[in-house]
A and B are shown apart, each in its own frame.
Chain A
């Protein structure tokens, strides 16, 4: 079945780095733009970043620009989020999500992973 499985979360000190992964299965990963969306504990949803199907184009939320980097490895069916210079504001569950329309740009999200928790704390 269509599935996204995130990994790589954990507890990290402020200023340190972390890399999240999202393994896709059950669909042609290379056909879809992919997104990261996060949710701070007890809070709402915040879009983080998007990458085109061919990795040529990426957009970021202003709150993470310059610190978080989205990438993908299509032969491995895997999406990544490199997180540098982390702050307590980055503490959240990070979800990878598939673009509904298959087109690059703003989109709804039809498939979500279960999420991976990132806690930034000293």
Chain B
């Protein structure tokens, strides 16, 4: 079991808005910034959101992140077929002295 909990799957139709949740604890999300990664099939992960809600250059503003307490969320608006991928949340865990990842959410665009 992963330290951070994500739903294993999510889905939506083109143009819809979907959200993916990430639940943790006071030793990780509750006290550290959250990052999100997108992994397209057969490729390396790509940084999508960092420090809870910041987008690296080149990431469309359709992607947004938020954090509240010990939970974080990734929102994707105007869903597109190319958004079909696995999404992972991640942060530092002070109790474990380790970087922790969520188990990943497979997003399907119907």
A and B are partners in one complex rather than unrelated chains = no
* Chain A residues near B (Cβ < 8 Å): none
